[in-house]
Amino acid sequence: MPTKMESEEELAIGSKIRELRQKQRLTLQDLSSRTGLSTPLLSQVENGHVMTPVATLLKIARALDVGIAWFFREEEKEVKVGLTRASDRKKFHRRPHHDASGIGYTYELLETRKSRKHIDPLLVTFSVMEKKDMVFYSHKGEECVYLLEGELEFRTPDDLELLKPGDCLYFDSDVSHAFRAVGAHPAKALVMIYTGGKG
């Protein structure tokens, strides 16, 4: 069965962030201090006005002591073993009124049942874009990228690598990094993000 295409608003990620923040009796300023993200940005995220990049969602999840799967789950019950069927996966995409700049990819969280885990497995589709449009991100943890399709450019302030199908890249996520698909078609990769936190 095909993957469900859902937007951030349909998944109510912003509302879930607000609910968890308020449950922990944190203000937007408290969350800003914990994440290093501005309060206006956090407000926009909570109100569903911006699409949340993975790096931003990881910072918010870590600050709230959960994994990013917590924002995608439908059940409150925590499980020891999580199995997400292919037909139950949700593809995260931009709504028409969201600014596409600064994202450059869509992603599917491959496992959504176990919300408290140290590794987040994602299937990421990277868009073809110009070098000048690349946006650099950094966050705590480590990443492993296994390229499935297309050609993918990986950049840091000091390095430039071109990945082809079958190539595997591993790096510390606190290094400022950016990706873009090159060539005529998007690139698709299996991405494993280790957060190293309690989430």
**pTM to 2 decimals?**
0.71
> Which residues are within 8 A (CB) of 62 and not within 5 positions of it... i.e. 6 or more apart?
35, 140, 195, 197, 199
Distance of CA 76 to the CA centre of its chain: 21
Beta strands in 57-159 (DSSP E): 90-93, 105-109, 119-126, 142-149, 151-155
- Measure the CA–CA gap between 103 and 100, rounded to whole angstroms: 6
- Measure the CA–CA gap between 31 and 27, rounded to whole angstroms: 6
The DSSP symbol for 25 reads T
* Number of CB atoms found within 10 A of residue 129's CB: 21
Domains detected in the chain: 4-194 (2.60.120.10)
Q: Give the pLDDT confidence score for residue 74 in this predicted structure.
A: 61
φ and ψ at residue 112, rounded to 5 degrees = -120, 0
Tally helices (H) and strands (E) across the chain. Answer: 5, 10
**118 closest CA partner among 17, 34, 198:** 198
The DSSP symbol for 116 reads S
Q: What is the pLDDT along the chain (199 residues), one digit of tens a residue?
A: 344 444 445 567 888 899 989 999 999 999 999 988 899 989 988 888 777 778 888 889 888 888 777 777 665 566 778 788 888 776 665 444 344 445 678 888 888 777 777 888 989 999 999 999 888 888 888 999 999 999 999 999 999 999 999 999 999 999 999 999 999 999 999 999 997 754 3
Bridge partners of 119, per DSSP, are 194
